[in-house]
Amino acid sequence: MSGTVVVAAARGWIGTPYVHQASLRGAGADCLGLLRGLWRDLLGGEPGVVPPYTPDWGTPQGDEALWRGLAEKMDGKGLEDEAPGDVILFRMRDRCVAKHLGIQAVIGERASFVHSYSGHGVLETSLSAPWRRRIVARFAFPDIQQG
């Protein structure tokens, strides 16, 4: 799928409030909810069953469930192989599971990504050095034919 299409769809969610476990444009979404909503918008249906989760999910067990789930649905990419529309997975704290997601919007000097962030909602943020060093995986958003 064209990265331009994915980015335009993601930007359409900007302003949606942050709501844990939600996935409805304009009403509320967390970072996974944003990805689920984009999946529905662009590919139709849900990407899979998402069980209820708490804000600290996976941390006590060290279970990389989100990383594993993304790898089952999307093609992995090299961390430096950036393209608009990529799904980016972040590890927010050392020795914790990776559990924050974003959509690469712009590459290059003015790199940015769209994500839903607690206390902020869905917004486009500069992919600055502090964010970049937290990236642990990158995935290509699937084509309609693959969905």
Look up residue 77 and give its amino acid. Answer: K
* Average pLDDT score, the chain: 91
pLDDT digits over 71-124, tens only? 999 999 999 999 999 999 999 988 888 999 999 999 999 999 999 999 999 999
- What pLDDT, on the 0 to 100 scale, is given for residue 145? 46
Q: Which domain holds residue 22?
A: 3-140
**What number is the average pLDDT over the span 17-23?**
96
Query: Is 102 within the bounds of a domain?
Result: yes
What share of the chain in percent tops pLDDT 70?
A: 91
Give Cβ neighbours of residue 51 (< 8 Å, ≥ 6 apart).
none
CATH of residue 34's domain is 3.90.1720.10
Q: Look at the chain and report how many structural domains it folds into.
A: 1
- The mean-pLDDT minimum among 21-30, 56-65, 136-145 falls in 56-65
> Is 18 in contact with 113 (CB distance < 8 Å)?
no
**Distance in angstroms (rounded) separating the CA atoms of residues 39 and 135:** 21
